[in-house]
Structure 1
Amino acid sequence: MKVDKVYFPLIIFTAVAVGFLLGGIFIKAPVSEKQNAENQTKRKLNKLIDFIDSDYVDEVNTDSIVDQTVNGILEKLDPHSVYIAKNEAEEAAQSMKGNFVGIGVNFFIDKDTVAVIQPIEGGPSEKAGIKAGDRILSANGAILFGKKITTEKLYSKLKGEPNSEVTLLIFRKSENKKFKVKVIRNVVPVKSVDIAIMLNKTTGYIKINRFAETTYNEFKSGLNRLIKQGAKSLVLDLRNNGGGYLEEAVFISDEFLKDDKLIVFTKNRKGRIDKTFASDKGAFENGKLTVLINENTASASEIIAGAIQDNDRGLIIGRRSFGKGLVQREMLFDDKSTVRLTVARYYTPTGRSIQKSYKEGNAEYFNDFMHRYESGELYAKDSIKIADTLKFKTPKGRIVYGGGGIVPDIFVPIETAKGNEIIPLLMQSGAVTNFVFTELDANRRAFKGMTIQQISAKIETSDVYFNDFKNFINTSESFIDLDSNKNYVKRYLTAEFCRQLLGENQYYQIVLKDDTMVKEALKH
């Protein structure tokens, strides 16, 4: 990869559409005299805060006042200039590291108790003998059940230094017994590449959920494995990927593009342009490539999709992406909170800005999914609003558009029936995980030793689990019509049973088999 005048490190923060941020690219700001210069306006604000802190009639948390003030200022700028409080900033940084130090379990709170969905394969808990369905009652004597239990308390007790020891009190429901077990905390990977598998003898598939510090290494490892297995074509799945570290997205783009091909460039208020080019070291520069995107594909994911489309390197399949093309610079405060301020726009190789309009305010901006639904865009490509004034040409003469996300080369409508657009989000949410865990927890022995084919037959040839899931969802006071999408719902229920019983690979074997975008990719 070659870089021309680029502001490294370029960093992206990510969350999917339902998260608290969606794909903000930022670069760390150097401390400048201008930032440190204290003018009268700054002194006025500081003096007011000090006055409230010392003399206001009631006790006031001035930190919260400052937070509200900063938020109020940034909200008037653009949707991606944001203030992140200390606790949120720490969580955001943790989620993007690609690993953490802990005991290595997937869990949720079941009736005020920590229930283990699965120990992470090869992690500390699995090595210590903890199993799916176990309840963690205490850690080093600290009680971890009851109505007052919080996620913060759980993390504080279960995380720690590498090689530190924690004694857990476990209740194993299947054996109706309590016992103590010592777990040695260690580094636990948090995968950003969900899966890298072969769809057929010559086509590989890689799904990336975000761009964390370890994503490129995870991707390269998966890609090399697929090439050894005979992959001549690749399906890269960036659906629901809200972004991540820009360097990781650029490194991945470089694997597909030939030497000196432009990947992305940025432009700031003063007109400075910084370009990033591909190197001659790509491992998949000649194989056939398709990239899957949808309305929740944002930021760094859009950089990859734009680079592939604008360089005529492969096909983009799916639905119009989110439309995030702003670059932020990060400023860290002494209390570890941060501000991310928009300082530039990024452009795809043909010169497109894919940033959608935010003139109507942040609420309208982040509610774009509903506008796309109401316009019919989720079901028909003809409903996508395209500005002819933002028309660009690729080197081979293909017409591409700017002004609001990446428009796919091949459109694939949303799978569910009209009026049920929430179902795909539901079926990939924690609700399905919790339901399946509850069903297994009630009778785990009934599934013991089952193969993927036997699990599929058990879930899909009967309506028992489908109806149970309907009751499970509707008792949460959010009625959703699942009947018109029964096969879709059953597919994801089957996949989740397979994941909790057999593993991640089996989950994707079920999900991808009837995935409409994957089917379309295989045609091409």
Structure 2
Amino acid sequence: MKIKKLYLPILLAIAMAFGIIVGGFLNYPSQGGGTLVASSNKNKLNKLVELIEREYVDDVNTDSIVDLTVNSILEKLDPHSVYISKENMEAVEQNMAGKFVGIGISFYMYKDSLAIIKTIPGGPSEKAGLRAGDRILFANNYKLFNRKLPTDTLFSRLKGTDGSKVQLTIFRPEGHKTFKINLTRGQVPVKSVDVGLMADKNTGYIKINRFAETTYDEFHKALASLKKQGATRLVVDLRDNGGGFMEPAIQIADEFLSDGQLIVKTKNKRKQVDETRATEEGIFEKGRLFILINENSASASEILAGAIQDNDRGTIVGRRSFGKGLVQREMKLGDNSAVRLTVARYYTPSGRSIQRSYAGGGEAYFNDFQKRYENGELYAADSIKIADTLKYKTVKGRTVYGGGGIIPDKFVALEGKHGDEAVAEMMKLAITGHFVFEQLDKERAGFAGLTPDEVVSKVDDSEKYFNAFIKYMKGNGFELSLIKQKDIVKHYIAAEFVRQLYSDKEYYELLLKQDSMMKAAVESK
């Protein structure tokens, strides 16, 4: 595969689809208990399924028939009314809950052996002394290596109920030691706030990857810490954040807005309008504020950005957001599957609906990114298609537009030349992490004791890791010509080394040094 313009929309859209379809969920208050109401037509479906089960000549999985039927119905509605099967429901719920019960590791099946990439800080594995590079051979007496086990089987062996015990057999390459260790499974956080750090002596930076049940608490803790460190300016990064629950987005907006200012309003089928306003509890109502968005910022991200823009509280930096102004409520179907049904529209404080049209169907709707790329919108602000008939006014009288996402106050184009950003997005994929893990597995001792800056120098000052990466990608089916993007590749490889050896904080500190949106915010007067 050659990195050309042709592949840019594909590579940049990889992270968008799942995050916006499933992550873009806004929990709307239930008016009727959250279960489906019986109707006269449901008997038709029930009778058909029963008839198939009883009379059809071959054995049929009627559950799959029902799933197909539900999906077909929802496809006729809107792109964000979705069905979540019982097989996927557990993972979705854990992601939105912000935690799961397990042993607390990130792992990689390396040469058919379960290798620990990192232990999660404060988790059971870290407390028990497990390290990056350790192999887990057995969970109790269940063999995990040389079996080509699917990921869900591996998870099922490592996860369990809170407080349950598991005995792990560990091989540690350092010293070629094999030993057993008893772990007690516990609550493991799934962070929705990747990092909170000081970008300079006055500017704090907080990265939010989605809006889950724990997001506000994570955010508030990070914000309070940054204020103590002297932050008088704040950058909130919502890039590639496909959304999630509405409530934490509202709570975060409340930290910035004054008592009584409108945050968002919703309107349902019965024309019922609900308004949500800020309280007097905010802890960052006066400092300079910047919100970073891009074409993958959706749903709850747009509620937060819209509230800040319409109240003239801060500066929106980046590119036009996705454009999702619909609200869903989750309703259980009785077998641990669920429907997330669109039940309302939301409007920003100025009265804007930023929902894009989905009249062309779901495929065209989610392929909108490609249109933006082709018409030049990602590279020039004057290529953004503005709905002149949908003009609204902010609190201070500035003109803003509805009809298709949040248009930033300060536009920042995709970085570099055409094709550079495709490489940058590719370098954020898991394969880069796998490459770095394998390099560290061979020479972990050579990185021991190095500072993050020394790690960067070790990677940047040699062609060794760049050449090894090209060879690694080729071995995984990618024929890449990246000589023109060598600096970009080296930068991301170095950052990944730093992340695996240290933490997300050091990783983001390194990436932000060359981040054009961050520079645009920090350099704003």
TM-score in same-fold range (> 0.5): yes
Paired residue secondary structure (1:369): helix
**Percent of residue pairs identical:** 56
Aligned to 2:240: 240
Paired residue secondary structure (2:74): helix
Alpha-carbon distance, 1:102 to partner: 1.1
Aligned to 1:397: 397
- The equivalences for 1:17-416 within 5 A come to 17-19=17-19, 21-27=22-28, 29-31=30-32, 35-39=36-40, 41-416=41-416
Aligned to 1:466: 466
How high is the TM-score relative to the length of structure 2?
0.93
Alpha-carbon distance, 1:463 to partner: 2.4
Distance in 1, matches of 2:300 and 2:513, equals 27
Number of residue pairs aligned between Structure 1 and Structure 2: 509
Paired residue secondary structure (1:274): strand
Measured at CA, do residues 251 and 206 of structure 1 come closer, stay the same or move farther in structure 2, by a change above 3 Å? same
Paired residue secondary structure (2:389): helix
Alpha-carbon distance, 1:29 to partner: 4.1
Alpha-carbon distance, 1:94 to partner: 0.7
Paired residue secondary structure (1:443): helix
Distance in 2, matches of 1:164 and 1:427, equals 38
Distance in 1, matches of 2:29 and 2:48, equals 29
Answer whether contact 1:420 1:481 (CA < 8 A) is retained.
Answer: no
Measured at CA, do residues 31 and 440 of structure 1 come closer, stay the same or move farther in structure 2, by a change above 3 Å? same
Distance in 1, matches of 2:158 and 2:393, equals 54
Alpha-carbon distance, 1:409 to partner: 0.6
Aligned to 1:3: none
Unaligned runs of 5+ in 2: 1-14
Distance in 1, matches of 2:273 and 2:315, equals 28
Alpha-carbon distance, 1:34 to partner: 11
Distance in 1, matches of 2:96 and 2:102, equals 16
Letter in 2 for 1:189: P
Alpha-carbon distance, 1:148 to partner: 4.0
Answer whether contact 1:318 1:410 (CA < 8 A) is retained.
Answer: yes
Answer whether contact 2:455 2:494 (CA < 8 A) is retained.
Answer: yes
Worse overlay, 77-86 or 158-167: 158-167
Aligned to 2:11: none
Worse overlay, 473-482 or 202-211: 473-482
Letter in 2 for 1:240: D
Alpha-carbon distance, 1:482 to partner: 2.9
Distance in 2, matches of 1:386 and 1:476, equals 43
Query: How far does the alpha carbon of each residue in 1:123-158 deviate from its partner, in whole angstroms, 9 at most, with x for none?
Result: 211121211011111101111123441222122211
Letter in 1 for 2:418: K
Paired residue secondary structure (2:117): strand
Letter in 1 for 2:181: V
Distance in 1, matches of 2:361 and 2:378, equals 23
Measured at CA, do residues 218 and 36 of structure 1 come closer, stay the same or move farther in structure 2, by a change above 3 Å? closer
Answer whether contact 2:23 2:210 (CA < 8 A) is retained.
Answer: no
Worse overlay, 412-421 or 302-311: 412-421
Distance in 1, matches of 2:162 and 2:34, equals 40
Letter in 2 for 1:466: F
Paired residue secondary structure (1:389): coil
Letter in 2 for 1:482: L
Query: How far does the alpha carbon of each residue in 1:247-270 deviate from its partner, in whole angstroms, 9 at most, with x for none?
Result: 111000000000110000111222
Paired residue secondary structure (2:28): strand
Paired residue secondary structure (2:50): helix
Alpha-carbon distance, 1:38 to partner: 3.5
Answer whether contact 1:416 1:488 (CA < 8 A) is retained.
Answer: no
Paired residue secondary structure (1:351): coil
Measured at CA, do residues 385 and 278 of structure 1 come closer, stay the same or move farther in structure 2, by a change above 3 Å? same
Answer whether contact 1:416 1:423 (CA < 8 A) is retained.
Answer: no
Measured at CA, do residues 508 and 264 of structure 1 come closer, stay the same or move farther in structure 2, by a change above 3 Å? same
Measured at CA, do residues 37 and 449 of structure 1 come closer, stay the same or move farther in structure 2, by a change above 3 Å? closer
Aligned to 1:448: 448
Alpha-carbon distance, 1:18 to partner: 4.7
Answer whether contact 1:26 1:342 (CA < 8 A) is retained.
Answer: no
Unaligned runs of 5+ in 1: 1-14
Answer whether contact 2:325 2:355 (CA < 8 A) is retained.
Answer: yes
Query: How far does the alpha carbon of each residue in 1:475-497 deviate from its partner, in whole angstroms, 9 at most, with x for none?
Result: 33244443333222222111110
Paired residue secondary structure (1:432): helix
Worse overlay, 184-193 or 285-294: 184-193
Aligned to 2:3: none
Worse overlay, 296-305 or 419-428: 419-428
Aligned to 1:4: none
Letter in 1 for 2:91: E
Query: How far does the alpha carbon of each residue in 1:228-265 deviate from its partner, in whole angstroms, 9 at most, with x for none?
Result: 11111101111111112111110000000001100001
Alpha-carbon distance, 1:111 to partner: 2.5
Measured at CA, do residues 32 and 224 of structure 1 come closer, stay the same or move farther in structure 2, by a change above 3 Å? closer
Alpha-carbon distance, 1:370 to partner: 1.4
Answer whether contact 2:198 2:205 (CA < 8 A) is retained.
Answer: yes
Distance in 1, matches of 2:31 and 2:277, equals 25
Answer whether contact 1:28 1:331 (CA < 8 A) is retained.
Answer: no
Letter in 2 for 1:188: V
Distance in 1, matches of 2:512 and 2:354, equals 29
Distance in 2, matches of 1:83 and 1:146, equals 36
Distance in 2, matches of 1:515 and 1:481, equals 24
Alpha-carbon distance, 1:115 to partner: 1.0
Paired residue secondary structure (2:259): coil
Answer whether contact 1:196 1:223 (CA < 8 A) is retained.
Answer: yes
Distance in 2, matches of 1:487 and 1:356, equals 37
Measured at CA, do residues 187 and 450 of structure 1 come closer, stay the same or move farther in structure 2, by a change above 3 Å? same
